[in-house]
Amino acid sequence: MIQNLKNQTMIKKFFVSILVIVFAFNINVKADEGMWFLAFINKNYDQMKAMGFKLSPKDIYDINHSSMKDAVVSLDGGSCTAELVSPYGLLLTNHHCGFGEIQAHSSVEHDYLTDGFWAKTKAEELSNPDKTVTFLVRMEDVSDKVNAMLNDKMTEKERELAIRKIFEKIQKEAIGDTHYEALVRSFFKGNNFYLFVYETFKDVRLVGAPPSSIGKFGGDTDNWMWPRHTGDFSMFRVYTGPDGKPADYSPDNIPYKSKHFFPISIKGVKENDFAMTMGYPARTNRYLTSWGVEETIENENNIRIKIGDVKRVILKKYMDKDEKIRIQYSD
């Protein structure tokens, strides 16, 4: 998808497996907000080119050659986004996206949360058994295939069962006997259906992270209240089996050979430069009714906040008394 915003854009990254683009510009034109899929980037290319985009649509999404989609990955099933920044599987992501791993490797003797961590060699990189990195292989509009098996006479239950069977059939056909994964998702309240084919790697190692005083400066409160002034990053590396395919952790594994990666530039940017970000954001409820918004704000959120406040007071009481407990309950 592509989301076009005129000014600063904030995207939450929770449990969604759809790759999205945000492109931002600071010129005196009307903002054209919306969301579009990568596979249909051609529909927006002329507009992007007029804003200063200098690449081609195939540089963003191409299933036959390497493209930007091959450098943007989903972490842990969609909880975060990361990007490849080297030919050898080095990943850059947010500090909070690696916080759980930093915490898991921390102890009173080696408090990486407080002091930070940097592997000086690949041998010093730390393995993380439950960490995954997922690449988008391709996507396809399968709305016609799904809708052809549905009719208006079906009950809601019949429709649900029919869709489930169609999804399973499409997913199975999409991957055959490969190691890929396939997922069909519905969009726009069940009016459109899209197939996504993925490749997931399970050997992901922590390379480095700054101290929390830098990576999480201001905490979660400032994160949602103010513009960021934070060194909000951590780094991982993807490993594969000797054959280049996904494999469980092994000392014999090798760094992932990146099909595409983003070189880091220290030149900076200037006013009115075209800027584009690809990632895996949260689902949107932009069409929620006013009553739905009121229900969320006045009821759901209030209850969650009150329960969370009670929990935090209890946890903080014991975390402040013991360094080991502080580390254990930091995540």
Mean pLDDT throughout 241-265?
96
For 101, residues 6+ apart whose C-beta sits below 8 A from its C-beta are 126, 128, 131, 206, 234, 236
Phi, psi of 48 (to 5 degrees): -65, -40
So what's the pLDDT on residue 223? Answer: 76
So what's the pLDDT on residue 187? Answer: 82
So what's the pLDDT on residue 72? Answer: 96
* Residue 17 to residue 197: CA distance in whole angstroms: 10
* Residue 121 to residue 317: CA distance in whole angstroms: 39
| Poorest-pLDDT segment among 25-34, 84-93, 201-210, 221-230 | 25-34
Mean pLDDT throughout 254-276?
91
Q: 248 near 202, Cβ under 8 Å?
A: yes
Residue 105 predicted with pLDDT over 90: yes
So what's the pLDDT on residue 35? Answer: 62
* Residue 234 to residue 240: CA distance in whole angstroms: 20
- Give the mean pLDDT of the chain: 87
Residue 25 predicted with pLDDT over 50: no
What percent of the chain stands above pLDDT 90?
Answer: 67
Residue 30 predicted with pLDDT over 90: no
So what's the pLDDT on residue 228? Answer: 76
What is the band of 60 on the pLDDT scale with cuts at 50, 70, 90? very high
What is the band of 236 on the pLDDT scale with cuts at 50, 70, 90? very high
Could you read off the pLDDT of 168-207 as tens digits, one per residue?
A: 999 999 999 999 999 999 887 788 899 999 999 999 999 9
Mean pLDDT throughout 17-29?
55
So what's the pLDDT on residue 34? Answer: 55
What percent of the chain stands above pLDDT 70?
Answer: 89
Residue 113 predicted with pLDDT over 80: yes
Could you read off the pLDDT of 130-147 as tens digits, one per residue?
A: 999 999 999 999 999 999
| Poorest-pLDDT segment among 18-27, 56-65, 71-80, 227-236 | 18-27
Cα angle 103-261-4, degrees, rounded to a multiple of 5: 90
Could you read off the pLDDT of 284-327 as tens digits, one per residue?
A: 677 789 999 999 999 999 999 999 999 999 999 999 999 999 98
Query: pTM value?
Result: 0.83
Spatial CA neighbour of 258 closest among 240, 275, 277: 240
Burial of 192: CB neighbours in 10 Å, binned 0-12, 13-18, 19+:
middle
Exposure string (b/e) for 154-175, b if CB count within 10 Å is 16 or more?
eeeeebeeebeebbeebbeebe
Could you read off the pLDDT of 143-167 as tens digits, one per residue?
A: 999 999 999 999 999 999 999 999 9
Residue 17 predicted with pLDDT over 90: no
Spatial CA neighbour of 138 closest among 57, 191, 70: 70
Three-state SS at 32? coil
The one-letter code for the residue type at 148 is: A
Spatial CA neighbour of 282 closest among 49, 78, 74, 61: 78
Residue 15 predicted with pLDDT over 90: no
CA 201 to chain centre: 15
Three-state SS at 240? strand
* Residue 97 to residue 288: CA distance in whole angstroms: 28
Question: What are the start-end ranges of the H helices in the chain?
Answer: 45-51, 57-60, 95-104, 112-115, 143-147, 156-175, 212-215, 219-225, 290-295, 301-319, 323-328
For 177, residues 6+ apart whose C-beta sits below 8 A from its C-beta are none
Burial of 313: CB neighbours in 10 Å, binned 0-12, 13-18, 19+:
exposed
Mean pLDDT throughout 221-239?
89
- What is the DSSP annotation of 162-215? HHHHHHHHHHHHHHTTSS-EEEEEEETTTTEEEEEEEEEE-EEEEEEE--HHHH
Q: From residue 202, give the alpha-carbon distance in Å to each of 66, 90, 131, 288.
A: 22, 14, 6, 37
